[in-house]
Chains A and B, each alone.
Chain A
Amino acid sequence: MEPRGAALALDLCWHCHSTVGGEYFCEQCVKVQPIHGEDYFTVLGLPHRLEIDLADLERIYHDLSRKFHPDFYRGKTSREQRISLDNSATLNKAYRTLKDPYARVEYLIHLKERSCREIPSQPPPDLLEEILETREALEELRHLHRTSGDGRKPELRAKLFDERSRLGEKNREVEDRIQALMRRWDALGAGEGPCTESQREILKAIRDLLSHRTYLQNILREIAEETQ
């Protein structure tokens, strides 16, 4: 495994106090080092890029699991066991977050917010109207379900199916746009420092789209639950 790069400040080994430059194990005494407090990309030895090959990610995760998992630290000191436990917990959270592209980009935005503050999240007005309309139909269907045993009003269900395919199409559109923006972010080069103006623009755009997507996902789930 490659050392995790120069982004990390130099640290001292907790055991032998020799300098460790971001490696997982001290070069002098081979003791495991805490990875606590680093961002999830760095934990996995990855740059702040948004396109990640999932097979590669899995391989890295499995390799690091073999290094950190508490199963392999039973005979070690309690300090090492504690580090193994914390490292594994951090590693598992990092993998879970980066595995899903939307959780990944959300995390990156959260990470960069320190340097890219003041990104306003606007409610999407055209979308809002459509969602409100659908929700009305859903409410009507729910009301029918409650009042009469046979609440299967066919035209209402047809309308909802229609809405579902329209909203589903919109959702795909939003996801495509997010993907395209993720590629643009990567094309600008993943700096670990403060964002440039164009990088901030991209993150802002992604953030708005992510909030659209959340609205869409929620309403789609509600339709699925009500019409199944």
Chain B
Amino acid sequence: MNRIVGIDLGTTNSLVAYMDGRQPVVIAGRDGSKLVPSVLSFEEDGVLIGDEAKLRGLTNGGRTVYSIKRLMGKGIRDLREDLGFLPYQLSGSEEGIVRVRIGEREYTPPELSAMILGELKRRAEEHFGEEVNQAVITVPAYFNDSQRQATKDAGRIAGLEVLRIVNEPTAASLAYGLQEKKEGVVAVYDLGGGTFDISLLKIREGIFEVLATNGITHLGGDDFDHRLMALVFQEMAARYGLHLEKNPEMLQRVRLAVEEAKCRLSTTEETSLRIPLPDGREYLRTLTRGELESLIADLVEKSLGPCLQALKDAHLSPAEVDEVLLVGGSTRIPLVQRRVAELFGKPPHCEINPDEVVALGAAIQAQILAGEIQDLLLLDVTPLSLGIETMGGVMNFIIPRNTTIPTSAKEIFTTSVDGQRSVDIHVLQGERELANDNRPLARFQLRDIEPLPAGMPRIEVMFLIDANGILNVTARDARKGVEQSIQVKPSYGLTDEQVEQMIRESFEFAERDVAQRLLIEARNEADTLVWATEKGLVQGSQLIPEEETAAIRAALAELKAAREGEDHHRIRESNRRLNEASHHLAEALMDAALKEAVQQKKLDEVLKR
């Protein structure tokens, strides 16, 4: 069976989930942890991903990349506020997408996200023991077209066919609705590591209809951390005369320390913040919940405006909202919970783990697309109005925000000069009246227009926003009824050719990486088995016939030899043979241990120990 997994590609952590029957389940890694930190560390001999990368950040600051999600679909100008807090280097011209510079190479955000997706893909493949190449990936509801497209590109680069981009709050409501079996109007307040969303939904007989959505794509736990980091660096300068905010290792160290302190303050009233300084001294201070709250209060307040706007767009009063659902790690902060409760006039729900609920919802949507669930359906909306620039730089709105998707709009274009062969269409997203104040999405060029007097050609352009919230544009000559050639230049995205190139490159790397990883894994297994067998022989060689002991020793020698080689197939095979040879020994040892335990118990009873 072709499995489709659900992926929550988060700013701070990422997860992969699937449906086990009617139950969504997050897939844990070997160490049992369900979260993969969305962190990459570029080493001499490869890239570390997740927990290991997070640790390496402390010593390899400038080559450790996190919060990639905040870069997706963005230009360098969009990221001014973040620049001071990032230990890694951003580059890119004023126009077009931002890039991350690591040593000699530059990476686009979709390439970096693809590495995290690749790790989740491997995690799922290990779990199922088979290939996984289709996924549903979640994004913040307020993500614009470029950010959605960038996420889809990341999937493609990672070798995943992205069957659907789902909005995070909507996914969360699906998991919640399935578990709680509730109907009515639900508000999902989703404050994660980097982004904030509010979605209002109506749940009725398995239909999850989004009424309105709003948000801020640049508000989350990262911004709270930045406030704390600024405080710490300021105090380090005042107390010790040390200006460390440009030191990549210190940036990573302070960031991790304040992040942990922030998390502790959700359950305790005060905590200590302890950070070793490069000169051997130590920065130490007590941080209270009150101090944290006063540092971030204005940021929390910022999230309430979009809530009110969404209520207005949905023609709802706070009292008409039946349930409020909290999603995202930052909603553990008591101040956030308090303000949300005050706004909606009711205590919010947080029964489902706010870190996992989005991935669980993505798994449910994956199952719907697989055709395995037919009674549930999400009807989502486009978060931003779509428009085209008209004469004088005015925005002509063609699809209003909060329109249920898929949706479409048709416009007729013509020429303004005799014999004109092409027409440019500048498409934007946003709510402002002037085109320049909105987000440029792409420039479409209608080409090879039949040369006719001005105003004569009639080119019908269809703007279609699909169920992913992504724009598709097609054009046809309305007089002749034939398709019209169209060229797309995304403003903050990759062209198809660029994505193809990245896919080719990632395949080359992937083959090398996979071979390397299989070898390491096989060696690790061999080491464990050699250790256990040698120990077993010492304890129990008297329990088995001599010829069996000899066979075990031979298999052991063979495995040790294989382990020194580079061939993971050979190591695996030797592992298997040693396992077989020592099977009887293992059983004998187990029996002996059991007998001993029983005797010990009897002895205990007799002696009333």
Closest to B376 in A: A71
Which one of A85-93, A107-115, A165-173 contacts B? A85-93
In the assembled complex, which residues on chain A have CB atoms less than 8 Å from the CB atom of B205? Answer: 62
In contact, A65 and B377 (Cβ under 8 angstroms): yes
In contact, B407 and A92 (Cβ under 8 angstroms): yes
Closest to A70 in B: B467
Given contacts A62-B207, A85-B466, A89-B464, contact A96 B377 (CB under 8 A): no
Tell me if B537 is interfacial: C-beta within 8 Å of chain A: no
Given contacts A65-B207, A74-B163, contact A89 B407 (CB under 8 A): yes
Interface string of B455-477 (1 = CB under 8 A from A): 00000000010110000000000
Tell me if B295 is interfacial: C-beta within 8 Å of chain A: no
| In the complex, chain A residues 82-109 whose Cβ is within 8 Å of any chain B Cβ | 85-86, 88-90, 92-93, 95-96
In contact, A62 and B408 (Cβ under 8 angstroms): no
In contact, B369 and A93 (Cβ under 8 angstroms): no
| In the complex, chain A residues 28-59 whose Cβ is within 8 Å of any chain B Cβ | 58
Tell me if A69 is interfacial: C-beta within 8 Å of chain B: yes
Interface string of B158-187 (1 = CB under 8 A from A): 000001100000000000000000000000
In contact, A71 and B408 (Cβ under 8 angstroms): no
| Cβ-defined partner of A85 (8 Å) among B377, B403, B406 | B406
What's the nearest-Cβ distance from chain B to residue A69, in Å? 6
Tell me if B317 is interfacial: C-beta within 8 Å of chain A: no
Tell me if A72 is interfacial: C-beta within 8 Å of chain B: yes
In the assembled complex, which residues on chain B have CB atoms less than 8 Å from the CB atom of A95? Answer: 404
Tell me if B371 is interfacial: C-beta within 8 Å of chain A: yes
In contact, A89 and B369 (Cβ under 8 angstroms): no
Interface of chain B: mostly helix, strand, loop or mixed: strand
Tell me if B294 is interfacial: C-beta within 8 Å of chain A: no
In the assembled complex, which residues on chain B have CB atoms less than 8 Å from the CB atom of A90? Answer: 408
In the assembled complex, which residues on chain B have CB atoms less than 8 Å from the CB atom of A65? Answer: 207, 377, 379
What's the nearest-Cβ distance from chain A to residue B18, in Å? 17
Which has the most chain B C-beta neighbours within 10 Å: A58, A71, A93?
Answer: A71
In contact, A88 and B406 (Cβ under 8 angstroms): yes
How long is the Cα–Cα vector from A90 to B406 in the complex, in angstroms? 9
Number of interface residues of A (CB under 8 A): 19
How long is the Cα–Cα vector from A90 to B462 in the complex, in angstroms? 13
Interface string of B382-405 (1 = CB under 8 A from A): 000000000000000000000111
Tell me if A120 is interfacial: C-beta within 8 Å of chain B: no
In the assembled complex, which residues on chain B have CB atoms less than 8 Å from the CB atom of A71? Answer: 164, 368-369, 377-378, 467
How long is the Cα–Cα vector from A69 to B163 in the complex, in angstroms? 14
Tell me if B576 is interfacial: C-beta within 8 Å of chain A: no
In the assembled complex, which residues on chain B have CB atoms less than 8 Å from the CB atom of A69? Answer: 377, 379, 467
Tell me if B374 is interfacial: C-beta within 8 Å of chain A: yes
Tell me if B595 is interfacial: C-beta within 8 Å of chain A: no
Which has the most chain B C-beta neighbours within 10 Å: A75, A89, A90?
Answer: A89
Interface string of A115-136 (1 = CB under 8 A from B): 0000000000000000000000
Tell me if B432 is interfacial: C-beta within 8 Å of chain A: no
In contact, A70 and B368 (Cβ under 8 angstroms): no
| Cβ-defined partner of B404 (8 Å) among A70, A85, A86, A92 | A92
How long is the Cα–Cα vector from A90 to B404 in the complex, in angstroms? 11
What's the nearest-Cβ distance from chain B to residue A75, in Å? 6
Tell me if A66 is interfacial: C-beta within 8 Å of chain B: yes
In the assembled complex, which residues on chain A have CB atoms less than 8 Å from the CB atom of B377? Answer: 65-66, 69, 71
How long is the Cα–Cα vector from A54 to B245 in the complex, in angstroms? 59
What are the 5 A-B residue pairs with the smallest beta carbon separation, nearest first?
Answer: A92-B404, A89-B408, A89-B406, A62-B207, A88-B406
Give 7 new A-B contacts, CB below 8 A, not counting A89-B407, A92-B379.
A62-B207, A66-B207, A70-B406, A71-B467, A86-B408, A88-B467, A93-B407
- Please name 10 pairs of A and B residues whose Cβ atoms are closer than 8 Å in the assembled complex, sorted by A: A62-B204, A69-B379, A69-B467, A71-B369, A71-B378, A74-B369, A85-B464, A89-B408, A92-B407, A96-B404
